[in-house]
Structure 1
Amino acid sequence: MSSKVVIVGGGVIGSSVAYFLRASDPTVAVTVIERDTTYARSSSALSAASIRQQFSTPLSVQMSLYGIEFLRGIGDLLEVNGEKPCIDLHEGGYLFLATPPGESVLRENHAMQTRLGADISLLDEAALSARFPWLNTDDLAAGAYGNSGEGWFDGYGLVQALKKKAQALGARYVPAEVMGMELAGNRVTSVTTRAGERFDCDTVVNAAGPWARNIAVMMGIDMPVRARRRSIFNVSSPAVLNACPLLVDPTGVYFRPEGKTYICGTSPDPNNDPDDLPLDQVDHAIFDDVVWPVLANRVPGFKALRVENCWSGYYEYNVLDQNAIIGYHPQIDNCVFANGFSGHGLQQGPATGRGVSELILDGRYKTLDLSSLGWSRVIENRPIVEKNVV
C-alpha cells in the first residue's frame, strides 16, 4: 500500500483516480497537480461528452457498462454536503450505420455486445426507415441502436463533481505545472512544479491527458500518445428529427442533439492529422468538405444547416491502437499510467479510476481486469484492434 500518491492531471481520469483512492482508503494522502484549474483546454470540457457500449473489444464494452452505471448513480455517489451533482445524462442511444460491406462486422459486434449485457438492437433497412423516418437509408444494410445505456451528458459537470467529491474526501488539489521528477533507481521519489514546489511520493499517476508524453519523458519513457486536434461544430436546422440518437455514419461523420441544435464532427484523414495543432483554430475545411455533405446526404433535412458555433479540443491519441494505456511500466516501479484514451476518456474514466486505485492499493485488479490495456502490448507492438473508432 502507498501512503503518498501524486496524480499529475486533474481531469476526468485524474479526478476519478483521486476519488476512488480516497473512498477506498482514507489513510492514503492524495495530491492532484493540475495546471489548468479552469479546465478551459481540457479534453473533458471540450469533447462531445458521450457514452456507448458499441465497441468491438469486450473490455471497452465492460468499461462503459460500468461507466453508465456510475453516471446513473452520480447524484448519490458524488453528493457533497447534501448537494447532488447533475450531469444532464440523456440516454438517447448511439446509432451505428452500416452499408452492405460493413454489415457483417456490425452483426459480429452486436452479438458480442449483447452477450456482455449491452442493450443494443440490430435493425435492418426497413426497421431503420420505420424508426427514423428522417433518415436516408438507400445505401444502408443495417444499423445498431442503443436502446438504453448510451447517450450524452455534461462532461465538464462530471469532472467538477469528481473533483469536489475527491476534495471532500480529503484529496488535495494543487494548481501548478509539473516540470520534473526525481528518480532513485527505478522509482520516482518526488515531483517538482514550475514554481519549485516539491512533492514526495510513494506512487505517481500519469493522468496528464494530451500532455502525458511530456510527463513520461521525465521518467525516460517514450509513449505513443499525441495531442491530436478534433473540431466540433454546433449547427442548427429547421428539420425536426424525432427520437434522434448520436448517429455515426459509415463514413465516420457523427452528430447528436444538443438542446434544440446539434453538434457534429469527424476525424481527419490519418495522413493529415499532425500533432499539437493550435486549439484556437478550427478546421473549417473538414466541415465544408466532409461533414456537411455527409450530413446532407444522410439526413435530407440537414441541407439547410447553419453553423452556430465551433471549437476544437485535443484527443489524447494513442497512435498504436487508439486504446488506453493503463498500468505500471516495467522501467518504473511506482508510476501508474492512465493515458491515450483517444476520445473515450469520459466514458471510461470511472472504470479506470476504480481499476487504478485497486492496482495501487491492492497490487492487482479486483473488479474488472484491465491488464490487457497495459504496457506489454505497447512494448511488444501488439495493437488491440478496435473497429468502432469514432
Structure 2
Amino acid sequence: MEATQDIVIIGGGVIGSSIAYFLKSMAGFDGSITVLEKDPSYEFGSTARSWGGVRQQFSTPENILMSQFMQEFLGQITHHLAIDDTPVDVGYREYGYLFLAEDRHIPLLYTNNAIQRKLGVNVGLLDSDDLARGYPWMNVSDLAGGSLGLSGEGRLDAYSLNQAFRKKSISLGVRFLKAEAIGLEVEAKQVSAVLLKDGSRLRSGYVVNAAGPTASEVAGWAGIDLPVRSRKRFAFSFSCRTEVSGCPLVIDPSGVHFSPEGRQFIAGCSPDPENDPDCSDFEIDYGWFEEHIWPILAHRVPAFESIKLENAWAGHYAYNILDQNAILGSHPEITNFFFANGFSGHGLQQSPAVGHAIAELITHGEYRTLDLSRFSFSRVTAGDAILERNIV
C-alpha cells in the first residue's frame, strides 16, 4: 500500500501536534498533513509525563522569546484551539520560579537578570533577608540571594495541551495515523517516503522529525547523526504535615527542585552527567530520592524532614548532548527533512513557538516571527554549543 502526503510528521506529542496545527492555520499553506503516532494513548510519551513547567528565566534570548510566545499563546488559547467555540482549559496556574543562589552564583544571577529584564521579563532579585521574610519556612543560612519570576511563569497540564493541539488539528483536516515509522527512503538527497511497520510506505514532500527521545533513531534512517538521547528523569510526589504556604517552584543550588501540587509537593533533580546514561525504561530508583533528594529538601525546608512519599513516576528527556538546547529546521543537505528535537525538558513550554516557527520555515522558507536560526542543525556539525546557564 502506498499513499502520498505533503507533510509527514513523525511523532504526535505536543511538538508534532503543534507543528501540525500551525501549518494548517498558516496563510499560504494548503497541503495535506499526516502525523504518525506510535502510542496514541500517550501513556508512555514524554509530554504526558512532563511537569508542565513554563518559565521565562533563561539566559539565552531565544529561549526567553519562545517562553514569551507561549505566554501570549496561553492568553489566547481558546481563540487558537477552540472547536465550536468551546473554551479550552489546560489548567494553567501562574506562580514564579525561584532560583536560589549561594555567594558563588551571584555574578551569574545578576548577568542573567540583565538579559531577562532587557527582554521585558518580570523578574526580581532577592537577597537573603528578602528570602527570610518572604519564605519563613525556608532555611536561608547558606544562601546569598535568589531570582523570582513575578509573572509569566507557572505550570499547566501537559496532556491537556497536547490533546487541544491534536483535536484542533484534526478539525482542520490533519490526519493522525496510529502507525510506527521504521525507516526513510532517501533519493537524490531528499526524503521521498516514510516506511511503516505494517509494510506500507507514505510518500511525502517534507518529513518532520518530532520523535522526542527517539529522534536520533529517526535521523539515523537518513544517515544523520543527531546528538539527541533518551535520558530518564524521576518525579516524586510527597505530602507534608506542616503547612508550607506561598511556595513557588523552587530550584535549590544543588539542582533539586520542588513545587506545590495541590495539597502535596513534587520534587526531582537531574543526575550528574557521569551518572546519566541513555535509558528507555520506566523503572523508578527510590534510592535516588532517599539518598540524594530528601536530605536536600530537609535542609532547605525543615518541615520536609517529616514527609510521606505518595507517588513517583519516570519520564524521558529528549536530551541534546551537545548543549541541551533545541535543534530546529532543515538538514543542510537533505533539505526536505526537518528537525524539532533535543529540547532537554523544555519542549512543552516551547511547543507553540516551535510549531509556529517550523510552519513558517516550511511555508515561507524563512523565519518571520521569531528568528530561531541560532538553533539550526549547522551548529551540530560545527560543534557550536549554545550555553544556557539556567538549565533545570
Give the counterpart of 1:249 among 235, 249, 252: 252
Could you tell me which runs of 5 or more consecutive residues in structure 1 were left unpaired when the two chains were aligned: none
Q: Which amino acid aligns with 2:52?
A: A
| Offset from partner CA, 1:56-91 (integer Å, 9 cap, x none) | 111101110111211232122110123222111111
Partner of 2:308: 306
Partner of 1:347: 349
After superposition, residues 181-260 of structure 1 pair within 5 angstroms as 181-260=184-263
User: 8 Å contact 1:225–1:317 — kept in the other structure?
Assistant: yes
Inter-partner Cα distance in structure 1 for 2:176 and 2:45: 16
After superposition, residues 275-290 of structure 1 pair within 5 angstroms as 275-279=278-282, 281-290=283-292
Give the counterpart of 1:169 among 172, 194, 211: 172
Give the counterpart of 2:140 among 137, 140, 148: 137
Partner of 2:161: 158
Inter-partner Cα distance in structure 2 for 1:277 and 1:22: 33
Give the counterpart of 1:109 among 107, 112, 118: 112
Secondary structure in 2 matching 1:297? helix
Secondary structure in 2 matching 1:44? coil
User: 8 Å contact 2:331–2:377 — kept in the other structure?
Assistant: yes
Partner of 1:12: 14
User: 8 Å contact 1:136–1:300 — kept in the other structure?
Assistant: yes
Partner of 1:125: 128
Inter-partner Cα distance in structure 2 for 1:142 and 1:104: 11
Give the counterpart of 2:36 among 33, 37, 45: 33
Partner of 1:46: 49
Inter-partner Cα distance in structure 2 for 1:240 and 1:170: 49
Matched, 1:56 2:59: yes
Q: CA deviation at 1:329?
A: 1.1
Inter-partner Cα distance in structure 1 for 2:200 and 2:71: 38
Identify the range of structure 1 (129-138 vs 151-160) with the bigger mean alpha-carbon deviation.
129-138
Q: Which amino acid aligns with 1:320?
A: L
Inter-partner Cα distance in structure 2 for 1:164 and 1:347: 19
Partner of 2:339: 337
Q: CA deviation at 1:3?
A: 7.4
| Offset from partner CA, 1:244-264 (integer Å, 9 cap, x none) | 111000000001111111111
| Offset from partner CA, 1:296-337 (integer Å, 9 cap, x none) | 011111111111000000000000000010011123110110
Report the TM-score when normalising by structure 2: 0.97
Secondary structure in 2 matching 1:202? strand
Secondary structure in 1 matching 2:19? helix
User: 8 Å contact 1:122–1:142 — kept in the other structure?
Assistant: yes
Matched, 1:79 2:82: yes
Partner of 2:358: 356
Aligned length: 388
Two-structure CA RMSD over aligned residues (Å): 1.2
Give the counterpart of 1:264 among 257, 262, 267: 267
Could you tell me which runs of 5 or more consecutive residues in structure 2 were left unpaired when the two chains were aligned: none
Q: Which amino acid aligns with 1:106?
A: L
Report the TM-score when normalising by structure 1: 0.98
Percent identity (aligned): 47
Secondary structure in 1 matching 2:94? coil
User: 8 Å contact 1:268–1:286 — kept in the other structure?
Assistant: no
Inter-partner Cα distance in structure 1 for 2:81 and 2:220: 34
Q: CA deviation at 1:239?
A: 2.2
Inter-partner Cα distance in structure 1 for 2:78 and 2:294: 38
Inter-partner Cα distance in structure 2 for 1:243 and 1:28: 49
Secondary structure in 1 matching 2:336? strand
Q: CA deviation at 1:197?
A: 2.5
| Offset from partner CA, 1:149-177 (integer Å, 9 cap, x none) | 00111001100001001111111100010
User: 8 Å contact 2:5–2:202 — kept in the other structure?
Assistant: no
| Offset from partner CA, 1:101-160 (integer Å, 9 cap, x none) | 001101110111111011111111111111111111111111111111001110011000
Q: CA deviation at 1:348?
A: 0.5
Matched, 1:373 2:375: yes
Identify the range of structure 1 (188-197 vs 291-300) with the bigger mean alpha-carbon deviation.
188-197
Partner of 1:315: 317
